[in-house]
Amino acid sequence: MAASATAADAGGQQAVQLAPAPLLEISDLRVTFRARGAQIYAVQGISYTVEPGQTLAIIGESGSGKTVSAQAVMGLLPGSARVSGSVKFKGEELVGRSQQDLRSHRGRSFAMVFQYPERSLNPTMRIGAQITEAIRTHVQIGKNEAHDRAVDLLKMVRLPAPARRFYEYPHQLSGGMRQRVVIAIALACGPQVLFADEATTALDVTTQAQIMDLLLELQQQTGTALVMISHDLGLAATYAEDVMVMYAGKIVERAPTKELFAGVRMPYTQALLDAIPRIELEPHVLLPVIGGRPPDLASIPQGCPFAPRCPGVQEDCRTDAPTLKQHEAGRWWACWHPLGKGTQQ
């Protein structure tokens, strides 16, 4: 495990301050799709890092590029996608590598859990077989040992009656149980980064909470870094250490969770927060929705991409695109006129 900056240890001695060595270093990642005669700029230069054991939430609406960027890291994009920039896993560059090289990382170094558990599992293949496949792709072990490991994994994700479930088919399980299986598959080879792409969006609220709790618990157990991709700010608030907000293919704000929700800087993030239904709101009051639509990704806008919809938009917003800068310690935003500084409300 890479060393990270640690606090004082139990013995009260002076902790050794080691430079943080991030698991994932993404720098100026760009993803462009070619479709029907046009270019789609899905990801327009994002940079972030993932530390070992960190819980990061990437929040954005549909089309913000959050899923595409994660798929780019994993190398799961179709052939029509052009990826540029740098993605380093433990110092090893992944962009431009062959599928064969990337395959040795997929499942072993990083893994993904997807949104629709009923579609993520092969309906004609037994669950156990799908797990042992994940194991035996990277580890040379016999069928019986793989079987035992798979059952252990099912136990780990708290699937009831794991030994029996091993021989069952996906349709015999409920949505929550299937998602547990998908998590088991993802964690089969002990990856160091787990991407959860809207992993709980398709589940009912109670199951959502159960799965999130499970993910966090497993994270503690295995020390895996968890990257939650979602549109749900509430999810981020509850479970993440750090939050990254994406809009129109760019990162617009990044901060540790507590600080973010204590004082939002980006008008977009504020608008997202305002749009969440709350108990405290008066009944029969219109929810403040964000007017307009996300920008068309076929062209790179001149000014700030959020300008057409921003309630506090000003002239320079339309002409100059703000860049993501670390304006305060650990806090990044890309806005000429951020909130909370006395200039906006």
- Listed residue (282, 298, 305, 75) closest to 195, CA to CA: 75
Cα–Cα distance, 254 to 266 (Å, whole number): 10
Cα–Cα distance, 202 to 294 (Å, whole number): 23
Is 22 in contact with 49 (CB distance < 8 Å)? yes
Cα–Cα distance, 134 to 112 (Å, whole number): 12
- Give the pair of three-digit tokens for residue 126: 């037994």
Is 92 in contact with 101 (CB distance < 8 Å)? no
Q: Is 310 in the site for another protein (CB under 8 A)?
A: no
Interface residues for another protein in 211-250 (CB under 8 A)? none
Q: Which of 15, 91, 92, 171 binds another protein (CB under 8 A)?
A: 171
DSSP secondary structure, 322-341, as one string: PPPEEEETTEEE--SS-TTS
The distance of closest approach from Cβ of residue 168 to another protein in the complex, given in angstroms and rounded to an integer, is 7
Please say which residue, 114 or 268, places its beta carbon nearer to another protein: 114
Q: Is 111 in the site for another protein (CB under 8 A)?
A: yes
Please say which residue, 114 or 332, places its beta carbon nearer to another protein: 114
- Is residue 17 classed exposed, middle or buried when 0-12, 13-18 and 19+ CB atoms within 10 A define those classes? exposed
Please say which residue, 30 or 106, places its beta carbon nearer to another protein: 106
Window contacting another protein (CB under 8 A); options: 90-98, 147-155, 163-171, 315-323: 163-171
Q: Is 205 in the site for another protein (CB under 8 A)?
A: no
Q: Which of 59, 151, 153, 177 binds another protein (CB under 8 A)?
A: 177
The distance of closest approach from Cβ of residue 179 to another protein in the complex, given in angstroms and rounded to an integer, is 12
Interface residues for another protein in 5-34 (CB under 8 A)? 34
Q: Is 37 in the site for another protein (CB under 8 A)?
A: yes
User: Which residues contact residue 131 at a Cβ distance below 8 angstroms, ignoring those fewer than 6 apart?
Assistant: 150, 153, 154, 166, 181, 184, 185, 188
Q: How many CA atoms lie less than 13 Å away from 214 in the CB half-sphere? A: 25
Q: Is 35 in the site for another protein (CB under 8 A)?
A: yes
Binding track, positions 112-141, relative to another protein; x by CB under 8 A: x-x-x--xxxxxxx-------xx--xx---
Is 227 in contact with 146 (CB distance < 8 Å)? no
Window contacting another protein (CB under 8 A); options: 12-20, 36-44, 61-69, 269-277: 36-44
The distance of closest approach from Cβ of residue 5 to another protein in the complex, given in angstroms and rounded to an integer, is 31
> In b/e form, how buried is each residue of 197-226, taking b as 16+ CB within 10 angstroms?
bbbbebbeeebbebbbebbbebbeeeebbb
The distance of closest approach from Cβ of residue 190 to another protein in the complex, given in angstroms and rounded to an integer, is 13
Q: Is 261 in the site for another protein (CB under 8 A)?
A: no
Q: Is 104 in the site for another protein (CB under 8 A)?
A: yes
Q: Is 82 in the site for another protein (CB under 8 A)?
A: no
Q: Is 159 in the site for another protein (CB under 8 A)?
A: no
Please say which residue, 130 or 270, places its beta carbon nearer to another protein: 130
- Give the pair of three-digit tokens for residue 2: 């890479």
For another protein (CB under 8 A), the number of binding residues is 45
Q: Is 87 in the site for another protein (CB under 8 A)?
A: no
Q: Which of 90, 97, 103, 158 binds another protein (CB under 8 A)?
A: 103
Angle between helices 127-138 and 175-187 (to 10 degrees): 10
Q: Which chain residues interact with another protein by CB under 8 A?
A: 34-38, 74, 76, 78-80, 99, 103-108, 111-112, 114, 116, 119-125, 133-134, 137-138, 161, 164, 168-169, 171-174, 177, 182, 185-186, 188
